[in-house]
A and B are shown apart, each in its own frame.
Chain A
Amino acid sequence: MTHLGYLVAGWGISLVVLGGYALRLVRRGRSLSAEVPEDRRRWLESPGTDRD
């Protein structure tokens, strides 16, 4: 296979960055969940029902 180093670098960087970002989101969500009462973890509330 030609250009193997470039392919490994391109795919590798992309998968590592996306995987790292996904992991960061999951961890951040877990730590925030602990700070919020259960009745306020309703992710898909109707728009604007929670303001003021």
Chain B
Amino acid sequence: MAGRDETPGTTGSRGSRLLGCVALASLGVLGVLAFVLTGPDVRIHPTTGEEFGQFDAVRMLYLHVPMAILMYASFLLCAVASVGVLVKRTPWWDVMAHSTAEVGTVLCGLVLVTGSIWGRPVWNTWWEWGDVRLMTTLVLFLLFAGYLALRGTTSDPRRQERQAAVVALVAVLDIPLVNRSVEWWENRTLHQRSTLEELKIEDLTLFTLMFGFLTFGLVVWWLTLQRFRVGWLERAAIDHAVGSAIAERRSETSAVELDAAIGVSDDPAGEESP
């Protein structure tokens, strides 16, 4: 088990360090696959004979699409953990919900940015306000940004956990809209339908995309693990600080009570009393 051999002073364990190394190596291999071994997307128009396609901009999709899928996965995990918060009411579920929401929001921001950069050469626009998928993704980002902001507002942690869980469960309802928007509002989006579902890509392009899913799966796994440990430590640090303060206060109180019980003066050494 990865958590049993941790080095004191860090959030790393042998397992998580191995996972991080594998994720980094996979990123390197993905870079080679995406930039060296795969070719650009160039097709020949059947009637005019002209070249068309995404050309080298397709290499952005080996990054953008896996991040989008892992973003869905993170937010769905957050929803599951939020149900756990409401039902079980244990800190494990809350830390998990917070961790997955934060990692998912980072991914969502990157999905929006990389999508915009990819859209400029392919669609000739950075952003299209009428595009349903873009707008629903932006709404998803804002909802989870609001979730993270909520985590820092209320002073009552139990209330904050429950409120955040409800917000997460409402926010996650946007995911089907994001994912299915290209089918449900086909004429209101620049996005194409899923190339994976319709198997429009094959061979090395498909392999590279699949390898991208694996790579970003490892990266997100490592990030979530680290974020979970940080969240757990934050709670432990607060509990420890509160526990120490209570113990200190109790020892002070009991010393005074003990002195009073045995009739010792407040001023045994003849010092001035207030």
Contact = CB atoms under 8 A, between A and B. Distances in A.
Interface of A: 1-4, 6-7, 9-11, 13-15, 17-18, 21-22, 25-26, 28-30, 32-38, 40-48, 50-51
A40 B240 contact: yes
Given A29-B230, A42-B3, A43-B13, A14 B56 contact: no
Contacts of B8: 33, 38, 41
A26 B9 CA distance: 11
Contacts of B114: 10, 13-14
Nearest to A48: B90
Contact of A32 (B89, B109, B219, B237): B237
A18 B223 contact: yes
Interface of B: 1-4, 6, 8-13, 27, 31, 35, 40, 55-57, 59-60, 63-64, 67, 84, 88-93, 106, 109-110, 113-114, 117-118, 120-121, 219, 222-223, 226-230, 232-237, 239-241
A22 B56 contact: no
B59 to A, nearest CB: 6
Contacts of A44: 1-4
A44 B222 CA distance: 14
B161 to A, nearest CB: 11
Contact of A26 (B4, B11, B55, B228): B11
A47 B88 contact: yes
Given A17-B110, A50-B91, 16 more contacts: A6-B121, A7-B56, A9-B117, A10-B64, A13-B117, A18-B219, A22-B226, A30-B11, A32-B236, A33-B10, A33-B11, A41-B8, A44-B2, A47-B88, A48-B91, A48-B92
Contact of B63 (A4, A14, A47): A14
A48 B91 CA distance: 6
Nearest to B117: A10
A35 B92 contact: no
B236 A36 contact: yes
A2 B63 CA distance: 17
B215 to A, nearest CB: 11
Query: Which 5 A/B pairs are nearest by Cβ-Cβ distance?
Result: A29-B11, A48-B90, A44-B3, A47-B92, A32-B233
Contact of B233 (A3, A33, A45): A33
21 contacts: A6-B57, A10-B117, A10-B118, A13-B117, A14-B114, A15-B27, A17-B110, A25-B223, A25-B227, A29-B230, A30-B9, A32-B236, A33-B233, A34-B9, A35-B237, A35-B240, A35-B241, A36-B233, A36-B237, A51-B90, A51-B91
